[in-house]
Amino acid sequence: MKKRLLMIVMSALMIVPVVCGLVGCNKGGDYDYSITVWVGEGTDTLTKQQIERFNETNEDGIKFKATVEIVSESKAAGNAISTPASCADIFCFAQDQLARVVHSNLLMPLNTGSVKSITENCDEASIEAAKIGGTLRAFPFTKDNGYFMYYDKRVVKEEHVGSLEDILADVESYKDSSGKGRNFSMNLTEDGGSWYSASFFYATGCKSEWTTDDSGNFIDYDDTFLSDEGVIALKGLQKVLKFSKYISSAEVADLSAATPSAVVVSGIWGYKAAQQALGDNLGVAPLPSFTVDGESYQLVSYLGSKLMGVKPQSDPYRAAYLQKLAIFLTSEECQKERFETVGWGPSNAEAAKEASSPALDVLLKQAKTTLQGQYPTNWWAKLDTMVGNAMTSEGDDASLNALLTTYNNALNDLKRS
């Protein structure tokens, strides 16, 4: 079935240039298409407006009747893979899901116009983020997929924001006028926790790098977590995992909970909510360092992109026009509007020059970041398991090495899809 679909898609791509010649691609006409679009929270209304503007301004007479639905970028790829028949025509997803989506044949190969638009307008890191096996497969539309620290300036002293140990001490000792304390929020063990816990391993110099072929299959890896540096990373993690006021969460809403968190490690998507929660008391800072045996290690955030993909189409007209719409939705103009509305950092090089906010500036100027790569789905799960077990581990070198050995032994058995 997959081979048959691929043959249909490739045939459609061969026809598209002829179709564009016939229908114009720069000429008037009347072409109505009903489509579904998946976008992240807070951007559905804006996306509807942008599609309407595309309908009004494109010279091809294309009119998209779009149903725009909110589907988190972290879940869109999984939803599409599990029920491909229900996948939206255009869907947005996190960069680390690209290999899975390509392997599942859920992306229309990019035509010449799409490739030209991406390579001429996006920065180098965003272009690389959209590649599998050296081939561009999707449209980058943000360069802001990372995390940093929101904090309550009444609790955490400014001179302490660079040290994890000092931050935890401030949170531990704080009581408000009613005697209520504060918590520390960082998702290390819940769904998605491995995305954050990896920061401790990269801080000590560990790496886990995975290579794919053009079809999104994982064919090789280089992982150094089983090492002295890996033990140090787990000791750093235990400082948080065993902290009495620790909450495994990346929700900025924790800042205004019944028992609030004074610190939340999260991303740019939470900036407006953090402002509402703390107002003038909001602090935004890079990730701190942690100390083990007198040595300091700077936590390292991922830095990646959000991508927009077009589902394979059997109708070559529809295929060509959907890619034109994707080019528009990821254009400088639309990325600027997205930044102004929800604060997302642009992947478009020109739009990025004008995009500045306390949250985006901190993310991009952190002392250390690592460009996000592609990882097998089960890699995240193995990392989650190891970190979860570290919560109850005694913390001696032998027991931590045992956790790392179990993790390392599982790498060869990971499902490569």
Q: What is the pLDDT of residue 337?
A: 98
Terminal-to-terminal C-alpha distance of the chain: 18
Q: What is the pLDDT of residue 401?
A: 97
Q: What is the pLDDT of residue 414?
A: 76
303 forms beta bridges with 371
Strands 90-94 and 131-132: unpaired
Q: Note the pTM of the prediction, 2 decimals.
A: 0.88
Cβ-contact 312, 5 below 8 angstroms: yes
**What residue type is 139 in one-letter code?**
F
Q: What is the pLDDT of residue 22?
A: 34
Q: What is the pLDDT of residue 31?
A: 73
Helix (H) or strand (E) holding 278: helix 271-278
| Token pair listed for 223 | 């992982």
| Token pair listed for 131 | 């590649």
User: Which is it for the CA torsion 23, 58, 345, 184, positive or negative?
Assistant: negative
Q: What is the pLDDT of residue 30?
A: 61
Q: What share of the chain is helix, strand, coil (3-state, %, to 5)?
A: 45, 20, 30
Burial class of residue 268, CB neighbours in 10 A (0-12, 13-18, 19+):
buried
d(CA 141, CA 156): 34
318 three-class SS? helix
Q: Is-same-fold flag (2-144+304-363; 148-300+376-411)?
A: yes
Name the nearest CA neighbour of 348 among 329, 373, 361, 366.
Answer: 329
Burial class of residue 329, CB neighbours in 10 A (0-12, 13-18, 19+):
buried
Q: What is the pLDDT of residue 412?
A: 81
Q: Break the chain into its structural domains and give their ranges.
A: 2-144+304-363, 148-300+376-411
366 three-class SS? coil
Give pLDDT tens digits along the chain (417 positions). 444 444 444 444 444 444 443 334 544 456 789 999 999 999 999 999 999 999 999 988 999 999 999 999 989 999 999 999 999 999 999 999 999 999 999 999 999 999 999 999 999 999 999 999 999 999 999 999 999 999 999 999 999 999 999 999 999 999 999 999 999 999 999 988 999 999 999 999 999 999 999 999 999 999 999 999 999 999 999 999 999 999 999 999 999 999 999 999 999 999 999 999 999 999 999 999 999 999 999 999 999 999 999 999 999 999 999 999 999 999 999 999 999 999 999 999 999 999 999 999 999 988 889 989 999 989 999 999 999 999 999 999 999 999 999 999 999 877 544
Taking the CA atoms of residue 30, residue 7, residue 77 and residue 373 in that order, the dihedral angle to the nearest 10 degrees is -120
Q: What is the pLDDT of residue 18?
A: 44
| Token pair listed for 381 | 């799960």
Q: Which CATH superfamily is domain 2-144+304-363 in?
A: Periplasmic binding protein-like II (3.40.190.10)
**What residue type is 278 in one-letter code?**
L
| Token pair listed for 182 | 């504060």
CATH of domain 148-300+376-411: 3.40.190.10
62 forms beta bridges with 31
Q: Count H helices and E strands in the chain, helices first.
A: 16, 18
Q: What is the pLDDT of residue 27?
A: 43
Q: What is the pLDDT of residue 25?
A: 52
| Token pair listed for 135 | 């081939």
